[in-house]
Structure 1
Amino acid sequence: MEDLKKNDLIDLEITDISNDGNGVGHYNGIAVFVPAVAVGDVIECRIVKVRSSFCYGRTEKLKHPSQDRVESDCPVSKHCGGCSFRHISYEAECRAKDKFIRDSFDRIGKLSPEYMEFCGCKDTDLYRNKAQYPVADDNGKAVCGFYAKRSHRVVEYTRCRLQPVIFSEIVEFIMGYVNDRHIPAYNEISLTGLLRHIYLRRGAYSGEIMVCLVVTDLKKASVFDKLAILLKEKFSDIRTVVLNENPKNTNVILGSRMKAIVGDGTINDTMCGNNISISPLSFYQVNTHQAELLYKKAGEFAQLSHDSTLLDLYCGTGTIGLSMARQVKKLIGVEVIQAAIDNAKANAKANDITNTEFICGDAGKIAQVLYERGERPDVIIADPARKGCDRASLEYMAKMSPDRIVMISCNHTTAARDCAILAELGYTCDKVMGFDLFPRTSHVETVVLLSRK
């Protein structure tokens, strides 16, 4: 068998799509990953990188297009790292995401759940309630947009089809102010400059907008005081303008220090009929309407009663638990970010929900505390970050012996891994359902029902 070498040209049929959105073909038994292709494409592929057991390639010529292929409706989709699927139909995207989930639970988890019908999204554009725009220095000029694929090079573009149109207008107004006043943008190489990110949030129901400017030094950020006033005058939906300080050389966008210069640093919205207060550090699903469908299904899986105790791990601002609080005797929420716990408590109070306890701390450590104080929830809901749950959290979840565990995850691979561990600890993975909260990207949400054996 002839080994592939860099710059080789080969004919390649694309037979699958990987979790990160790359197409997959095979040549003499070697997997070749190619971006921006569709299942069914036949391409002339140039090999650009060779690894021991696979290769990366790029399309030199599209010889036979797939029936799934469509023209991209975004001028920067080939360069921007946001969307992975603008070149295929949305129906094909949903099929691919459903397969991602099934493959993870079959292959990684070695589980055999019932796979429920995938829930696609009604709105594939303008659905996001949150956007984070990196700002960079380009020869003395501040530019703003989105990171290119697998890099921190900023693709200068503000009119993303996933964001509300008003976000583009706000960002362009801010960048005009910044460049008119020669406010220095952050330079990742020299670690100099002031403005790092523009971070926007908008209530899907309320329309209230939060503007958060991430800066390297709050002491130098008074240059934005006038901007905050101008923003509020021009955009009536802006409720608050916040400064966030992040002086560290890190990929993490937000730091821990905040200063509100207009409003109180929060916006309000509605989720599952509850009034919700949101701060910059609070986790809040980026697709409100689709998240409501997801939470409704999670509630159906939970099978709650008025005698139930519900434990909501990784609860964020409390949106999931509070959507079910009126169905249970007691709700306990656990979250590691204090600002989110403060929001959760305020959200419970604002909605006259009194059967709650919200605790700030690491999920695994608090799960142990709850176990040792004798808490035995009937149902546990866990919605961890992409890295999933740690072993301690899973073990104490199982020790508390709930009848059901409902897991919500934005990473099906770690969800499958964690469900496999819970299977070892005495739980059966009964049902799995995919929800597309992130159309045109490679991300997908999963909800899982596990029951005690």
Structure 2
Amino acid sequence: MLKKNDEVTLEITGMTNEGNGVGHYEGIAVFVAASAVGDVIRCRIVKVNKSYCYGIINDIITPSPYRIQDSCSVSKTCGGCCFRHFSYRQECRVKEQFIRDSFERIGKLAPRYDSFVGCERTSHYRNKAQYPVGLRDGKAVCGFYAKRSHRICPWYDCELQPEIFEKIVGYVMDYVERNSIPPYDESTGKGLLRHIYLRRGEHSGEIMLCLVLTSLRNSDCFDDMILGITKRFNDIKSVVFNENPANTNVIMGKKTVTVSGSDTIKDIMCSNTVVISPQSFYQVNTLQAEKLYDIAKEYAAPDKDTVLLDLYCGAGTIGLSMFKEVKKLIGVEIIPQAIENAKLNARLNGADNAEFICGDAGKIAKILFDRGERPNVIIADPARKGCDRQSLEYMAKMQPDRIVMISCNHATAARDCAILGELGYKTEKVRGVDLFPRTSHVEVVALITWVG
């Protein structure tokens, strides 16, 4: 049995969903961060479990043919990226295999796999960033959490974010330092500024700046900053404060106030004008999301007689990308602010055939079934935890011809598709779409059809 601090030679032959390389030593799996398939390494064991171990690279004896130079100086400490050390083409292969493994091993399914859709732009593609602010050696710092910790890596020149975000965050932090504004201290619950949260419209260029504070009562200390930052950065069209006094890992609280400009920003998604609020869901990679929605439309195959039910609809962007092709669109979302955005988005784009309902997907699906709604097509885009059983059962009870599942978690998507299989449906085909280059995350679209 391997012991802590043992040094062994390993060939990396696989990857985990978290981005660790996998090798085997005398039948024991060893997981190694920052390794690539094809690497032969000298590895030091740092943690031993009953049937597997974790190791770190001491030396690369033979580098993988896919290995490249990491262009980010903090990726080894920041928890954001895990695939910066090998080629993007290989990353796409790895992610496609993740999806296949989930559907075949977890779901016990055998769909057709349509070609994986990689991303043309692998840097500066995100339209949203949330930067924690805290204390480090008595000084206010801002950046990203190190992997599996709440230790802030003080670095906001992130290659995944728009370059203007770095300048805006730098302006805010310079103001915080000059005015001795206390950052939030997780250990004591004291301090004022918890997070700097930015959103940007990919096509419009409009930016929202949100400061998450422990109390709005003391927010007037930012008055001069608001005047200065909106003059310096003309694209900032909205400045909002969010109050979160709770001792929690949840970033935003319930109360949000607008202190400059509009309550929302606007963007274009699939040729529709969309409004974006601080708490409404909006895909972080707009250009790739448009490709994702085009695939969803292809799988949904809507026509003028289609009644389309869009569950977990967020601000309505997926369903509204198809409203011109369908007879009726019904969207369901549990977040009230998102539903208000969806209703406004419908009005802005002349979607008179759209109805948006606020509530839990499973409960609303039951209400819709009881009132006699029988959609031809259902689109479901749940959070990472996937659909609850009630939602899946009522989706099946409505007996739509097609269900299109969109998910950022291929494991829960495979599980949900398997449950739908028990309820009379077959997973016909699956396609991966990479919205998150250089990270372990990947989107998947599945077409599920009624077989009875």
TM-score class, shorter: over 0.9
Superposition map of 1:220-259 within 5 A: 220-259=218-257
- d(CA) in 2 for partners of 1:41, 1:127: 29
Gaps of 5+ in 1: none
Answer yes or no: is 1:437 the counterpart of 2:435.
yes
* Partner SS for 2:130: strand
Superposition map of 1:314-393 within 5 A: 314-393=312-391
Gaps of 5+ in 2: none
Residue identity in the other structure for 2:60: L
- Once structures 1 and 2 are overlaid, which stretch shifts more, 299-308 or 133-142? 133-142
Q: Which residue of 2 aligns with 1:284?
A: 282
- d(CA) in 2 for partners of 1:230, 1:332: 43
Selected match of 2:420 from 415, 419, 422: 422
- d(CA) in 2 for partners of 1:338, 1:403: 29
Residue identity in the other structure for 2:114: M
Superposition map of 1:121-136 within 5 A: 121-136=119-134
- Once structures 1 and 2 are overlaid, which stretch shifts more, 182-191 or 271-280? 182-191
Q: Which residue of 2 aligns with 1:300?
A: 298
* Partner SS for 1:226: helix
How many residues get paired?
A: 451
Q: Which residue of 1 aligns with 2:3?
A: 5
- d(CA) in 1 for partners of 2:394, 2:248: 32
How far apart are 1:218 and its partner, in Å?
Answer: 1.1
Q: Which residue of 2 aligns with 1:275?
A: 273
- d(CA) in 2 for partners of 1:225, 1:416: 49
- d(CA) in 1 for partners of 2:428, 2:222: 53
Spell out, residue by residue over 1:41-81, the C-alpha distance to the aligned partner (whole angstroms, 9 max, x if none): 01111110011111111001111100010000001011110
- d(CA) in 1 for partners of 2:10, 2:222: 53
Q: Which residue of 2 aligns with 1:21?
A: 19
Answer yes or no: is 1:213 the counterpart of 2:203.
no
How far apart are 1:141 and its partner, in Å?
Answer: 1.5
Q: Which residue of 2 aligns with 1:110?
A: 108
- d(CA) in 2 for partners of 1:272, 1:256: 30
- d(CA) in 2 for partners of 1:222, 1:329: 50
Question: Quick check: 1:140–1:184 contact (8 Å CA) kept in 2?
Answer: no
How far apart are 1:139 and its partner, in Å?
Answer: 3.0
Residue identity in the other structure for 2:361: A
Residue identity in the other structure for 2:40: V
Residue identity in the other structure for 1:251: N
CA RMSD across the alignment: 0.6
Question: Quick check: 1:83–1:442 contact (8 Å CA) kept in 2?
Answer: yes
How far apart are 1:221 and its partner, in Å?
Answer: 1.4
Q: Which residue of 1 aligns with 2:40?
A: 42
How far apart are 1:147 and its partner, in Å?
Answer: 0.7
* Partner SS for 1:32: strand
Residue identity in the other structure for 1:448: A
- Once structures 1 and 2 are overlaid, which stretch shifts more, 224-233 or 420-429? 224-233
Selected match of 1:57 from 55, 58, 68: 55
Question: Quick check: 1:135–1:144 contact (8 Å CA) kept in 2?
Answer: yes
* Partner SS for 1:416: helix
Answer yes or no: is 1:139 the counterpart of 2:137.
yes
How far apart are 1:222 and its partner, in Å?
Answer: 1.6
* Partner SS for 1:218: coil
Residue identity in the other structure for 2:129: A
Residue identity in the other structure for 1:132: Q
- d(CA) in 2 for partners of 1:401, 1:227: 55
How far apart are 1:122 and its partner, in Å?
Answer: 0.3
